[in-house]
Homo-oligomer: A and B are copies of this chain.
Amino acid sequence: MSNKNRQQALQLVKQLCQQRGLKLTTKRSNILQLMLTEKKGLSTYDIVDSYLAQYHQKISPVSVYRMLGFLIVEKLVHKISSNSQYIVCSHITCSHSHQMPLFLICNNCNQVEEVDAANELPAALEKNIVSTGFQLQNKALELHGICQICKNI
| B-binding residues in A (CB < 8 A) | 81-83, 102, 104, 106-107, 113, 115, 117-118, 120-121, 124-125, 127-129, 132-138, 141-148, 151
Q: Are A148 and B132 in contact (CB under 8 A)?
A: yes
Q: Are B128 and A134 in contact (CB under 8 A)?
A: no
Q: Are A104 and B145 in contact (CB under 8 A)?
A: no
Complex copy number for this chain: 2
A56 to chain B, nearest CB (A): 35
A102–B144 alpha-carbon span in the complex (Å): 15
Find A143's partner among B82, B125, B145 (CB 8 Å cutoff): B125
A118–B75 alpha-carbon span in the complex (Å): 32
> Which residues of the other chain, B, contact A127 by a CB distance below 8 angstroms?
118, 120
